[in-house]
Chains A and B, each alone.
Chain A
Amino acid sequence: MTSIREEMWKTRAILFNFAISDLKIRYRNSILGILWSVIEPLLMLGVLYFVFSTMFKFDIPNFPIYLLLGIIVYNCFKNATTFALSSLSNRSALITQIYFPRSIPGISSAITAAIMLAIEVGILAVFMVAFDFVPPITILLLPLILALEFAFVVGVCLPLSVLNVKFKDTEFIWGVVLSAGFFLTPIFYQFDMLPEYMQSILQFSPMVQILTMAHHVVLYGILPSVNTVLYAVGSISVVTAIGYLIFRKYQAKVVEEM
């Protein structure tokens, strides 16, 4: 009989193997390879910085760092969910021939995105040095906030991986959600620039909550209040629970749809 520990070890080995092989396949045929994961957010930063500091004259202190933080936090969500959409459907050969837990491709998508996020956080550090920005001590809480984001991302990745097999238009709908989310998350603006009624709706978005906390600890040295944290943990738990239920409903039969 296999013990639970053994089962865990097995699953961990598979997860790790999947996440690494995802990265390998993704960048195998490009000259710049993994550098792409760095170049993409930097290009994004350049464009947004140009548009909002020269054309719209936004006056946010330390704007480049504010922007880059928003871009990488949102990118992690975007990358993970985009990988998750095709994580099962791209592996039909594997899934129809070998049994392994169906949650692995979805979770490993989140891990792949988290590895990329770690690289991007390194870039953020380089930027802070370059702009002579000394972060407040509260920045030490950033890993915790990113861990919270990871939990949220897993909760979204799992249902997306099975839904995209069952319903082929999931990825198109999700593309719209992602672009809407980019504008409805305070990446290149500050949350209080929005009109009241928008704020009262968008405060429920986990990405808004996560990014607001990240801005607070990295730039302003403000500790998130107990209320904010409970609020974020609550809404993320709800999303993750619903995501898990959807996943569980479809996971056993998903291979028959391939």
Chain B
Amino acid sequence: MSEYAVSVKHISKKFKLYHEKRDSIFEAMTGFMQEKKNSEILQALDDISFDVKHGEIFGIIGPNGSGKSTLLRIISKIYAPDSGSVDVKGVMIPILALGLGFHPEFTAITNIYQSSILLGFKKEMIDSRVKEIIKFAELEKFADTKVKNFSNGMLMRLAFATSVLVDPDILIIDEVLAVGDIRFQKKCVETILAFKKRGKAIIFVSHDMGVIQQYADRAMFLNNGKAEKIGLPADVVASFGDFCRARDKLNDPSSK
């Protein structure tokens, strides 16, 4: 077995921010003639490197717009980085939003199949797990309901249940678990901890410092696309806390 499950090396990513987006062929052609500068470059990620080992929970924190979701998307191969590389050992499932790319017109069962097949699992394998997934998600009554009628919590439960029961080697979770009620959140945490025990790697983003300190083995504080700190959760949370206080001071005119 190799040492790491996910190895991120020197990832950088720039986005073009358009003031007024030209998205028709006509505008693209006439746009050449206009002198006005139409876009700015946003450095979303700047030279990010870290490894996540098997059996490790890696937490990512940072203010809004710091590049957390972009980073998760690059690890999941959805965005292509401008430079750098991501090496993944094993099957990875990303939960980046409510659902796993669920189609609103499909039932819960059909969506389980569609998403799992897209993630590379075989149909026969899903056949044997589909009941378990529905049970874990507590959606027995809604297995044949179209997903467009689901609440956010139900979508999240279905996505999480599908992700963990097809048994990936690496799980990537954006801050979506917060949607579930306390009881289901507890179930998620237990599942994730059991996953870790079995040598799986988990990368997750959270705004809950308590969760990071309690469960993560290591963490990263991301700010403006740069990795400000990578290390023990307590240190990383402390450095994020310092940053927040400094920022609040700057923005608060009443303090001197």
Contact = CB atoms under 8 A, between A and B. Distances in A.
Query: Does chain A bind chain B?
Result: yes
B78 A25 contact: no
A100 B101 CA distance: 12
B87 to A, nearest CB: 12
B101 A167 contact: no
Nearest to B24: A169
Given A28-B105, A256-B79, A93 B117 contact: no
B84 to A, nearest CB: 15
A199 interface: no
A97 interface: yes
Contact of B26 (A99, A166, A169, A256): A169
A96 B102 CA distance: 11
Interface string A34-59: 00000000000000000000000000
Interface stretch (A13-21, A69-77, A130-138): A13-21
A228 to B, nearest CB: 34
Contacts of B77: 99
Interface residues of A, number: 27
A93 B118 contact: no
Interface string B189-210: 0000000000000000000000
B106 A21 contact: yes
Interface string B97-134: 10111110110001001110111101100000000000
Nearest to B13: A256
A173 B94 CA distance: 37
Contact of A170 (B25, B73, B102, B110): B25
Contacts of A253: 80
A211 B174 CA distance: 52
Nearest to B26: A169
A32 interface: no
Contacts of A28: 105
A48 to B, nearest CB: 32
Q: Classify the secondary structure of A's interface with B.
A: helix
B20 interface: no
Given A94-B118, A97-B100, A13 B94 contact: no
A249 interface: no
B79 A167 contact: no
A98 B24 contact: no
A98 B15 contact: no
Count class of interface residues, chain B:
20 to 34
Contact of A96 (B25, B78, B118, B123): B78
A169 B25 contact: yes
Interface in B202-256: none
Contacts of A93: 97, 99, 101-103
Contacts of A98: 76, 78, 94, 100-101, 115, 118-119
A124 interface: no
Contact of B117 (A13, A167, A168): A13
Nearest to B25: A167
B28 interface: yes
Contact of B24 (A167, A252, A257): A167
A10 interface: yes
B35 interface: no
A95 interface: yes
Given A25-B105, A28-B105, A96 B96 contact: yes
Contacts of B96: 96-97
B224 to A, nearest CB: 19
A29 to B, nearest CB: 9
A148 interface: no
Interface of B: 15, 23-26, 28, 73, 76-80, 94, 96-97, 99-103, 105-106, 110, 113-115, 117-120, 122-123
**For the complex of A and B, 5 pairs with smallest distance between CB atoms:** A94-B101, A99-B77, A97-B101, A169-B24, A252-B80
11 contacts: A13-B122, A13-B123, A17-B114, A17-B118, A93-B97, A94-B103, A94-B118, A97-B97, A98-B115, A98-B119, A169-B25
Interface of A: 10, 13-14, 17, 21, 25, 28, 91, 93-100, 166-170, 173, 252-253, 255-257
Given A21-B114, A99-B77, 8 more contacts: A17-B118, A93-B102, A94-B103, A95-B78, A96-B73, A98-B115, A252-B80, A256-B79
